Structure 1
Amino acid sequence: MDELDSQIVEHLQREARITNRDLAHRLGIAPSTCLERTRALRNRGVITGFHAAVDLRSMGRPVQALLSIQVRPLSRDVIEGFKTYVSALPEVLSVFVVAGSDDFLVHVAVPDVDQLHTFLMDRFSQRREIVNFRSSVIYQHVANQVISPLDGVE
């Protein structure tokens, strides 16, 4: 990625609904060049999609938690099966398969702490492959909205 590609990606991360014409104007390039570059970034998989960010509180899901989960036996089938199961749950925002003492980190958002408890009891405590789980309530969540390439890393 060159500097122009990086600028296109940065602008689109900040404002995905910007028109091609406005983006080209901000970058000081022709709209045709901007469109060609943006399409190339999508085709190369640098830009994977566009989305609308939502406020979880407004969606009736103000309580967030990270769930640390251990599954056994550790096999591809168990990991893939659990990942498929948990990804389909409506409370789940993200699923991470991780190394270390835990096998999964699951980010959930629910209406209240009672619903978190119910979710854990109903969805996890009866699963045979789960040998241990812990929950950590999230007080604040800050995410970088713009991801840039690291200098010197290809």
Structure 2
Amino acid sequence: MDDTDSAIITHLQRDARLTNRELARRVGIAPSTCLERVRALRARGVITGYHAAVQPRLLGRSLQALVFAKLRPLSREVIYDFESYLTQLPEVVSVFVVSGEDDFLVHVAVPDIEHLHAFLMDRFSARREVVTFRSSVIYRQTGTRVLTPMDGAGREGEP
């Protein structure tokens, strides 16, 4: 990973709809070189896909929450099964298997508080492996959608 790859990744994260020609112009390389580098980044698994960022509120999902869950018995099979179950639910935005007091952190987006309550009662309470769960409503979400390599991380010739 060099500075050119980093620049390509940054520009694509900001606007994945850039044409190869425009991307090459912004990075300052030839279009053929740009195309080769993007293909190499995809082949190495650095670029895993492209998506459209959406506004949940405009999709009828005005309420977002984080759900923390503790499972028992804690085993690889239980974790994988629960993770698979969650990723199939339309309310679920993201699933994180975490360390600490909780085993899962689940980001959900639903129409309103009644739907959140029903989701928790029907989807979490109904699962035998869930021993406890709690939720926190998200009031506001901010953050960056653009990741760049950390100093020294992923640079060519380095571990």
**TM-score (normalizing by structure 2):** 0.94
Shift of 1:153: 2.9
Alignment of 1:113-132 (within 5 A): 113-132=113-132
Q: For residues 91 and 39 of structure 1, what CA distance do their matches in structure 2 show?
A: 33
Shift of 1:77: 1.2
Aligned length: 154
Alignment of 1:5-154 (within 5 A): 5-154=5-154
Q: Secondary structure at the residue paired with 2:57?
A: coil
Q: For residues 152 and 6 of structure 1, what CA distance do their matches in structure 2 show?
A: 12
Q: Which amino acid aligns with 1:67?
A: V
Aligned identity (percent) is 66
Shift of 1:28: 1.9
Q: For residues 25 and 75 of structure 2, what CA distance do their matches in structure 1 show?
A: 52
Q: Which amino acid aligns with 2:108?
A: V
Q: For residues 120 and 21 of structure 1, what CA distance do their matches in structure 2 show?
A: 48
Q: What is aligned with 2:157? A: none
Q: Which amino acid aligns with 2:67?
A: L
Q: Which stretches of structure 1, 4 residues or more, deviate above 4 A after TM superposition? A: none
Q: For residues 78 and 145 of structure 1, what CA distance do their matches in structure 2 show?
A: 31
1:35-54 superposed Cα distances (whole Å, 9 cap, x missing partner) = 11111111111111100011
1:20-45 superposed Cα distances (whole Å, 9 cap, x missing partner) = 01111112211101111111111111
Q: For residues 127 and 45 of structure 1, what CA distance do their matches in structure 2 show?
A: 34
Shift of 1:62: 1.2
Q: Secondary structure at the residue paired with 1:40?
A: helix
What runs of 5+ residues in structure 1 fail to find an aligned partner?
none
Q: For residues 146 and 67 of structure 1, what CA distance do their matches in structure 2 show?
A: 25
Q: CA RMSD in A?
A: 0.8
1:77-114 superposed Cα distances (whole Å, 9 cap, x missing partner) = 11111111111110000000011110000000000011
Q: For residues 39 and 153 of structure 1, what CA distance do their matches in structure 2 show?
A: 20
Q: For residues 9 and 77 of structure 2, what CA distance do their matches in structure 1 show?
A: 37
Q: For residues 102 and 143 of structure 1, what CA distance do their matches in structure 2 show?
A: 23
Q: Secondary structure at the residue paired with 2:68?
A: strand
Q: Which amino acid aligns with 2:80?
A: E
Q: Secondary structure at the residue paired with 1:137?
A: strand
